[in-house]
Structure 1
Amino acid sequence: MRFTPTHRKGIGAAAATLLLGTGLSTAAPALAASPECATIDSAMQVTADCLDPTYRTPVIDSETDETLPTPHHRVRGHFEGTNIQFTIYLHAQQDKAQWDGRFFQFTYPVVFGPGQDTSKADDRAIGFALSSGGYAVQAGNASFALGYRHAAAAAKFAEQVAAKYYGSNRPIYGYLYGPSGGSFQTIGAAENSTGVWEGYVPMVQAIPQPTSYNFLGRAAAQLILEDKADEIRAALLPGGSGDPYATLDEAERTVLREVHALGIPWKGWEYPDFLLGRTGYQSDQLDQSRPLANDPTYVDDFWSADGYLGTEDSPLGDRIRAELAEVGDTVAHRWNIANRFYYRYLLPAADEGFVGLDQFRHPDGTPLYPQRAVSIAPYTGGSAGSASGNTAFDGSVNGKVIAVANLYDTDALPWHTDWYRQRIEATLGDAAAGTYRVYFNDHADHQDAPVAGERAKHLVNWYGMAEQALRDVAAWVEDGVAPPASTQYEISDAQVLVPDNAAARRGIQPTVDLTAQGKEITTTQVGQSVRLKAKAQVPPDAGKIVRTEWDLDGDGVFTDAPVTRVGNALTFQSTVTFDEPGTYLVALRVSSERNGDPTAHFALAQNLDRVQVVVTPSR
């Protein structure tokens, strides 16, 4: 929904009453003179000057001067009558001159464990904001059903605090960002607020879906392909055969084709334990033994009615009936198998743009399989609706948007970002080019830092690229400096494909091309040296290579190799020998920085490449 603001964002008269130790009173009065925010189609339209009655009274609980992660002044508070808390991180007294009239606000709707608090920013968010000329704001609690309203109320109150603290009445520019569930909140804010934030960075973007086919597809793969995971992975590794189907039977081939046509990245097989839910937080989400409350008859139809996989005369149908018989025909196991294929039987309209589900349609758009007599919740329903504040997801954004998406993401599928890009372009038309960018990152998945252990062998920390996107959106808003071009890509079978060359790929991530003895795979003997050579390139206008790190034995631990000069296209060489026989995946990781600063801690864009070295015993 687009609407026109009546005022440019500024500091209201109520700010004058907010004076306490640095200036502020313990409770701010309700802004009685402000009109209440309007609501359109269940989504509140928040402006700089309207009042959200739920968050009418902010209360400051404490103010402290902190030294970690960097010196800053911290203000903690809450909204009276709610469980929403907020924290404002301002520059330390001696560093006030570093403030450039902006703030950065992270948002996320879920608390995963004890001791976590979504109203407190982590060290990285604090350090990034302060080093980027902004103060940081964060608000939240443990509920998924938050939307963007609490974040907007915290942002507006923080502006009053900041104006007094910094002693300035200059305009303040705000930038909201959040990953996954936080991207729901970010898009909700972009479509339903004006004058609160001027720019938005949704990261690893989630979209409202007719079913959770991204997780269900992985659950289907877990059921059918778990025993073949290592073989599929080996085929897709650098130097592998490139044919993941080679050792599969027909039932296994059917599932492998199907789940990747849903859009689950092929690159996810580099870490099959996560893809298949054998490790990490997804293990519970891939468990499908719970009955569907909104469709209780589905399980009986799946196992008895024509057209369903449970009765299908096919190798896959035979396989799942064998799985049922092997474990036992219990209620839980009947659901556990049936639910994994539910995405086949609840399709949205053919013109809704869900390309990963087109595989289940005839050429005329009609479904291949029986469809459930269950209404698909509107896109604003379910968790997407509660987290987004019931936004329409129609692309009617009010401000600049740079989306950050990752090509190894098996949770928020990469093509989902393209789904929303098309809505922005349909709504804004030619204006979309001056409003929206998308940066796809290779060797990056759904999770953020730290990238350690098994993940570090093939993944980079993508948060630096999100930080650069935030700086770019700020420059776009405040100075009219257009950011680098979007990543160039195409969609094929619901997979996002990007060029290998940095100049053709665009975006902001460097590319790396590593070879061993001039190839992706080489064979050597114990004690013999292997020649490694790499070329790293940065896309146009995206910075320079400032750091290189080698992982010569493939254990995920990288060793710094100082760069003798920075540049946008550099070559690197090294040699390695091995003391033990085995197969090693040798890697080179590079980092670029927009201004070529090798001392930078934030906004580093990383990528890596790997080669396979097979070491045999010496003769």
Structure 2
Amino acid sequence: MEVSESPRIDTTLEVDGYKVTDSVFGQPYIDRDEWRETPYPHRNVHGGFSGCDTRFTCYFPDEKDYQSRMFHPIEGAHAGHEDAFDGLMGQMLGGLAMIARLGGYMVESNSGHIGDTIDPAVGVDPTVYGHRASVESARLSKYLAAQVYGEAPRYSYVWGGSGGGRRSPLCLEYGGDVYDGALPFMGGGAIAEHGTSDRIRSEQPVHFGCMFNVQRLLGDKIHSVVDAMRPGGSGNPFAGLTSHQREELDSLYRLGYPRGDEFMIAEPMGQIWLWSSIADMLQEEGADYFSSFWSKPGYVGFDNPEYVNGDLINCRAKVKKVVTASELLQSPEFAGPEYARAKPMAMMMAAKGPDFPLAVQLEGMDNGYLLGTGVKVLTGAAAGRQLYCTSFASEVLFCDGRDDANILRFTGVQPGDEVQVDNRAFLAFCYYYRHHVSDDPANDFLCLDGVPIYPQHDMPLQSPHMGVAYSGKYEGKLMWIHHTHDASLWPPQGVIYRRAVEMAQGEKGLEENFCLRWTENAEHVPPAFLPSAPDRATTTWLVDYMPHIEQGLVDLTEWVEQGKKPAETHYTFADGRVVLPDTAAKRKGIQPVLSLLANGGARADVAAGTSVEFVLNAEVPTGAGGIIAIEWDWLGKGEFTDAEDLTRADERADVTRQRVFDTVGSYFVTAKVTSHRDGDFSAVSRRVSNLVSVRVVVN
């Protein structure tokens, strides 16, 4: 074990006296114990459990920052890393600096597996990956904290988003002796009886196929759909589309895709990763569907080949160049905007080494639809490895895959090696949702009198790394936060756990132990990590949701420790859509509620040189604090350079401004309003914001 000689470490931690509660895990060990100054001063302790792949990292800040709390973030996606919040994930989601502000230490687990692989000692056991590895790691962290601080934490919390939002409720459900509260955000899944050990059968990944299909079918027409649904647009996204394009876009909305987030259909992010991680599994466990799609009546591939044949790829190609993470991030060859989608992943992969090979340039490919395409290495040292295209630019394909393919990518591949490029499975996946219908009301339009319209196949199993289904049965408090514009976990996923709690605990338990909040105008990742349209910056229609999450964690600690239940958000849910009330008094929650008019409407068409009047109304729900900033971006470029001069943090602000536009063009004028619970103008954290835009067209 490496032990730092820093004077900040004056004790040697022992684990011999720890008694493992779960027999899956062997005796724990520590292989690193050192003081680190970054990203926040802390004692960094790394180790694992013998006989399995479970690893953990504990981050113990100085005692002056410790208020006897433990915070356990659960990594997104499939997890597999015990240091995610020490890197890019920490930058995105608060990390250790936030935990120190909250008065705690932080523990991470790799959720029982390394990368996207299955632990050979555990096998395909979703209970281990879903909660048991995390719970045992957190329990051990308390044993270590008692040695570091002189006492174990009095209160413990588990939280996480996306895949972490999927698994953090399971930790509370099955680790009630370890945790007091949970804050999942952007989660989703299925419901089953408490104690299930079965893998999840869920439509959650199924519906992504419909989104990809809309992107594929619409091509450049997606931009007219985006424009129609923006502020001041026509409101009719179907104008100019063919019958089949209209059908698929309508299906996407009915399945719950968030209105107003159509830009992300053209710029898919993490959803395509999910395809790459489960594509092999879907084809193995649902081989009948992927064969039937091309060979039987009732399936588009057989009945209407004209809908897919123009995009079909099935050919052999040669590797011209292997692209490394450092080349993608630093070489002028990859500086163009077409490579922007792949750069966040390159930043994460660069941690494995600057020469890590994450993409290939191919020659000799057929023309066709590249996203989701299978790339199987046929020759050379990596022969047999199956990957899938998650992003592309020209002939450069960025790929990911399952198990070793996820870890190795194009390791061992050399120029001249041959690959098979085949997108038949992905094209079939684009219509998968029609043939895998659940009993969720969002699927009712795919049935008549309860009978599915299309031939049906079993709902697919999710990866065992996603854990088991929710039960809603737990001790403690749980706050669920969901986003209205999440293109990866659509709004209908935000109401599932509420139903699980009501079924398991009844109305009384729902009232006492569950809280649901909506964050308006928030996506799956902060806007700084998302691409912008040429005419409108992403930061003018999406907010950074992390201040909302941090405020939520503060409210969760007060709920657990002081019995003060947090304010919920009121909403209605119908036809796959969540609608929030338009006043703060009715909506409640913690976010400012805004309205903005340009010359009295959502759109102002004016001549150059004409003054436009803007009327902004902003209000913070009672108890949520006061408004500390109102900023204007007059051109929609993400530059909020014009701020109102506020002298006190009131709950309400009504502002009227005049602006002259001299240059012909279309502008999305945006107001950003920020509140703070304590009305602190100088606060650097928990600055809860919302946005509102109007369109000004200058002729």
Q: TM-score if structure 1 supplies the norm length?
A: 0.82
Question: 1: CA distance between counterparts of 2:683 and 2:581?
Answer: 28
Mark the CA change 1:161 to 1:460 in structure 2 (over 3 Å): closer, same or farther.
same
Give yes or no for contact 2:527–2:539 (8 Å, CA) kept in 1.
no
Question: Does 2:67 correspond to 1:100?
Answer: yes
Q: Structure 1 residues 421 and 535 mapped into 2: Cα distance closer, same or farther (>3 Å)?
A: same
Question: Is the counterpart of residue 250 in structure 1 residue 243 in structure 2?
Answer: yes
Alpha-carbon contact 1:214-1:410 (below 8 Å) kept: no
| Residues 62, 77 of structure 1: 8 Å contact kept | yes
User: Is 1:326 matched up with 2:293?
Assistant: no
How far has the Cα of 1:614 moved from its partner? 0.5
Q: Which residue of 2 aligns with 1:9?
A: none
For residues 132-159 of structure 1, give each alpha carbon's deviation from its aligned partner in whole angstroms, at most 9, with x where no partner exists: 2222222325347633333323322332
Question: Which segment drifts farther, 282-291 or 459-468?
Answer: 282-291
Q: CA deviation at 1:514?
A: 1.3
The code of the aligned residue for 2:488 comes to: D
**Structure 1 residue 282 displacement after superposition:** 4.2
Q: Give, in whole Å, the separation in 1 of the partners of 2:459 and 2:237.
A: 34
Question: Could you tell me which residue of structure 1 aligns to residue 428 of structure 2?
Answer: 338
My pick for the range that moved more, 256-265 or 560-569, is 560-569
- 1:367 maps to 452
Residue 502, structure 1, aligned to residue 584, structure 2: yes
Residue in 1 that maps onto 2:288: 297
Whether 1:206 and 2:188 are equivalent positions in the alignment is yes
Determine the structure 1 residue equivalent to 2:391.
none
Q: 1:131-280 alignment to 2 at 5 Å?
A: 131-140=101-110, 142-143=115-116, 146-168=129-151, 172-208=154-190, 209-210=202-203, 212-274=205-267, 277=268, 280=269
Aligned to 2:466: 387
Q: How far did 1:490 drift? A: 1.9
Query: Residues of 2 paired with 1:368 and 1:139: CA distance?
Result: 44
Change in Cα spacing, 1:470 to 1:112, as seen in structure 2 (3 Å) is closer
Q: Tell me the secondary structure at the aligned position of residue 451 of structure 2.
A: coil
Please, which of 496, 520, 530 is the counterpart of residue 419 of structure 1? 496
What is the match of residue 520 of structure 2?
442
- Describe the SS at the equivalent of 2:648: coil
Measured against aligned partners, the alpha-carbon deviations of 1:351-383 in whole angstroms (never above 9, x if no partner) come to xxx2222221112x22122112xx435xxx532
Instruction: Give the drift of 1:329.
Output: 8.4
* C-alpha RMSD of matched pairs (Å): 2.9
Counterpart among 285, 300, 307 of residue 309 in structure 1: 300
* One-letter amino acid matched to 1:31: Y
User: How far is the alpha carbon of 1:480 from its aligned partner?
Assistant: 0.5
Aligned residues, how many? 550
Q: CA deviation at 1:258?
A: 0.6
For residue 122 of structure 1, the aligned residue among 83, 90, 94 is 90
2:194 aligns with none
**Residue-by-residue CA offset, 1:532-554 (whole Å, 9 max, x unaligned):** 22111112322221122221111
1:60-71 matched pairs, under 5 angstroms: 61-64=32-35, 66=37, 68-70=38-40
* Shift in Å, 1:283: 4.9
**Alpha-carbon displacement from aligned partner over 1:71-107 (angstroms, at most 9, x marks no partner):** x3322221143554433333435xx2x5322122211
Tell me the amino acid that sits aligned with residue 185 of structure 2: M
Aligned residue for 1:87, secondary structure, equals strand
- The answer as to 2:619 corresponding to 1:537 is yes
- Cα distance, 1:600 vs structure 2: 1.9
1:90 pairs with 2:91: no
Tell me if structure 2 keeps the 8 A contact 1:267–1:407.
Answer: no
Do the aligned partners of residues 283 and 296 (structure 1) sit closer, same or farther apart at CA in structure 2, a change above 3 Å counting? closer
How much has 1:340 moved relative to structure 2? 0.9
Structure 1 CA distance for aligned equivalents of residues 531 and 435 of structure 2: 39
What residue identity is the alignment partner of 2:692? Answer: D
Q: Aligned partners of 1:255 and 1:493: how far apart in 2?
A: 16
Identify if the C-alpha distance between structure 1 residues 195 and 560 changes in structure 2 by more than 3 Å, giving closer, same or farther: farther
Contact 2:518 2:589 in 1 (8 A): yes
Which SS does the other structure have where 2:260 is aligned? helix
Q: Indicate yes or no: 2:608 matched with 1:608.
A: no
Change (3 A) 1:227 1:155: same
Letter in 1 for 2:681: P
Is it true that 1:456 corresponds to 2:542 in the alignment?
no
**SS at 2:452's partner residue?**
coil
Are the counterparts in 1 of residues 485 and 522 from structure 2 also a CA contact under 8 Å? yes
CA distance in 2, matches of 1:423, 1:403: 12
Runs of 5+ unmatched residues, structure 2:
1-6, 119-128, 191-201, 316-421, 533-537
Q: Percent identity?
A: 27
Where do 1:3-42 residues align within 5 Å? 22=9, 24-32=11-19
The residue type equivalent to 2:179 in the other structure is W
Q: Which amino acid aligns with 1:173?
A: Y
Change (3 A) 1:426 1:599: same
1:74 paired residue among 31, 35, 43: 43
Paired residue secondary structure (1:423)? helix
Mapped contact 1:467–1:603 kept (Cα < 8 A): yes
Check conservation: 1:449, 1:463, Cα contact below 8 A. no
Worse-superposed segment, 228-237 or 445-454: 445-454
Q: Indicate if the aligned counterparts of 1:502 and 1:538 stay in contact, CA closer than 8 A.
A: yes
Taking a change above 3 Å as real, the CA distance of residues 449 and 125 of structure 1, as seen in their structure-2 partners, is: farther
Task: Kindly provide the amino acid, as one letter, of the partner of residue 516 in structure 1.
Answer: A
Alpha-carbon displacement from aligned partner over 1:99-120 (angstroms, at most 9, x marks no partner): 3221222111558999974576
CA–CA separation in structure 2 for the residues paired with 1:65 and 1:301: 56
CA distance in 2, matches of 1:179, 1:23: 35
- 1:610–1:292 CA distance, 2 compared to 1 (3 A): same
Q: 1:165 to 1:376 in 2, by over 3 A?
A: same
- 2: CA distance, partners of 1:449 / 1:235: 21
How far apart are the structure 2 equivalents of 1:80 and 1:427? 33
Shift of 1:462: 0.7
Q: For 1:441-476, what per-residue CA distance to the aligned partner results, in whole angstroms no more than 9, with x for missing partners?
A: 111111136356512131000111111111111111
Aligned-pair distance for 1:193? Answer: 0.9
> 547, 551, 568: which one pairs with 2:633?
551
SS, match of residue 496 in structure 2: helix
Task: Give structure 1 stretches of 5+ with no counterpart.
Answer: 1-19, 37-49
SS in structure 2 opposite 1:251?
helix
Q: Which residue of 1 aligns with 2:28?
A: 57
CA deviation vs aligned residue, 1:466-504 (integer Å, no higher than 9, x gap) = 1111111111110001111x2222222211122122221
CA separation in 1, counterparts of 2:155 and 2:82? Answer: 31
Amino acid in structure 1 at the alignment position of 2:487: T
Change (3 A) 1:111 1:63: farther
Partner amino acid, structure 1, of 2:148? Y
Relative to structure 1, the CA distance from residue 25 to residue 150 in structure 2 (aligned partners, 3 Å threshold; closer, same or farther) is farther
Number of the residue aligned with 1:522? 604
